[in-house]
Structure 1
């Protein structure tokens, strides 16, 4: 809980704002399918923000942004959006904390090994 309080007191960076917008889009996907153009623009901005941000700023928002990117893939984003989401995920992991790659890979490994590639988690993998 103290960690959340610390995050709440940190001013939002450009990366943090874009991550929050992505979370909002994913959260509202149950009511309305995300607009591909909006997602494409947001992810393009997110990728450039990752390149410009410091590692400390990335670390503050990394897990939340990764979760939102993963959710975007699972809800069935189209190919260009999936590609940008994958690029963003790779850059976040590369610049931030690389340990999350192991948890992401292990969570997807089961879905991929079952051969159920038509399921959303298989597509995300």
Structure 2
């Protein structure tokens, strides 16, 4: 029983570490590609991928739930996913409230999408 608990705790720690590393890498890449409102976009990636754990993220590097021809897009790496987001989404942004922009372009069907993003950001900024 004790070994099971230790193995479980080890696994949880490894997953948490990997998620933190991925989050920081994505944050840096968003800045490198000059994505506006990178804090909100990072929250989108976390929400869309279940903290970078979904199959569409891990197998297909799709950070934002972007679809091509009605199917989730597949990318060779997550940097390409960010580049596609920049090309398809952030390039249309002309200023103002970014979350309102996301709502206006119909980014997500979930009526609570922006509220969920705000909660992720609030959690991130908690001291």
Q: TM-score, normalised on structure 2? A: 0.25
Relative contact order higher in (CA < 8 Å, ≥ 6 apart): 1
Q: TM-score, normalised on structure 1? A: 0.25
More helix by share: 1
Task: Please identify the structure whose Cα radius of gyration is greater.
Answer: 2
